[in-house]
Amino acid sequence: MPRTASKIENFKELLPQNTRVYVAHIEGTPINEMIDTAKRLTDEGYNVMPHFPARIIESKEVLVNWIDRYKNEAGVKDALLLAGGVNQPYGEFHSSMDLLDTGEFDKAGFKNLHVAGHPEGNMDIDTDGKTKNVDSAISWKQEFSQKTDANMAITTQFCFEAGPVIDWANRMASNGIDIPIHIGIAGPAKLQTVLRFSIQCGIGPSMRILTKRAKDITKLLLPYKPTEILEGLAEYKLKDPDLNIEQVHFFPIGGIKQTTDWVKEVS
């Protein structure tokens, strides 16, 4: 986010050149701050992928303006398209599909278009706790990827167990979804911080990993680290190289430097 990026003096000390860096657009963040952050990161040698949350974009004119500014002022050519976490849309856009349907990203030459994935479902989209609507949306995006030359990937919400992620990825494959998956992983942080973010983000059943740990007084003060889920995914990937999880997307919940330091430590 712009406010957390502003605390980093030099990203080159933390991240290898050409790393993809997402810039989250939270409701209320001025677009000028998003553009400035994107430009700084681009100038420092990173592939910047800003969020385009459909429900906070007031009109097609605003969308075109954002795309134009990101491209011409910040050198951005990638975008993560998602509905956004607000209940009432600001204007005509309700979903990432509405944004894709405009064709404006293609006109501007944006070729790397990522969309959201939800291994544990999304109660905002499927209020009954099932997956009918999220599955339908992914199928729509699969068709979109096949009829366009967009380079697409599914960037997922974070969770805490490998099993549900593997089951979901395999279910996507059985449904004919071959868009590469970039799995969301919560970076290391204080347990209380991870719990708070997880509740805010509506994380599903895998949050039991955290709540169980929180009940153990001997572990309560120890920081959360995503070692277990990453080891589980890596072990399964070795057994089944066809598992359609290609990359990891870190949510730096405990801070950007804390996450990058941990990644360097375990790499």
Residue 224, beta-bridge partner list: 189
Instruction: With cut-offs at 50, 70 and 90, classify the pLDDT of residue 200.
Output: confident
| DSSP state, residue 130 | S
* Residue range 93-111: mean pLDDT, rounded: 96
Minimum mean pLDDT among 7-16, 144-153, 183-192, 212-221: which range? 212-221
Q: Which two tokens stand for residue 200?
A: 């805010």
Domains of the chain by residue range: 2-190+224-261
What mean pLDDT do residues 129-137 have?
85
Under the banding of pLDDT at 50, 70 and 90, the label for residue 219 is: low
Helix 162-174 / helix 227-239 crossing angle, nearest 10 deg: 40
Measure the CA–CA gap between 110 and 87, rounded to whole angstroms. Answer: 28
Residue 9: pLDDT band with limits 50, 70, 90: very high
| Confidence at 133, pLDDT banded by 50, 70, 90 | confident
Kindly report, residue by residue over 146-194, the tens digit of the pLDDT: 999 889 999 999 999 999 999 999 999 999 999 999 999 999 999 888 8
pLDDT of residue 220 exceeding 70, the answer is no
> What mean pLDDT is reported for the chain?
92
Report residue 95 CA to chain centroid gap.
Answer: 15
Q: Is the pLDDT of residue 234 over 60?
A: yes
Please determine, for residue 214, whether its predicted confidence score (pLDDT) is greater than 80: no
Sign of the alpha-carbon torsion through 252, 257, 259, 263? positive
- What's phi and psi for 251, nearest 5 deg? -95, 110
**Quick check: 127 pLDDT over 80?**
no
Question: With bands split at pLDDT 50, 70 and 90, how would you rate the model's confidence at 124?
Answer: confident
3-class DSSP state for residue 23? strand
CATH code of 2-190+224-261, in short, is 3.20.20.220
Which one-letter DSSP state was computed for residue 189? B
**pLDDT(221) > 90:** no
Which whole number is the average pLDDT over 112-139? 85
pLDDT at 201: 76
| Of 232 and 218, the one with more pLDDT | 232
What is the predicted pLDDT for the residue at 218? Answer: 53
Instruction: For residue 66, give every residue at least 6 positions away whose Cβ sits within 8 Å of its Cβ, in sequence order, or none.
Output: 31, 52, 57
14: Cα within 13 Å, side-chain hemisphere: 20
Label residue 140 by pLDDT band (50, 70, 90). very high
Output the furthest CA–CA distance in the chain (Å, rounded): 56
Q: Mean of the pLDDT values across residues 106-134?
A: 86
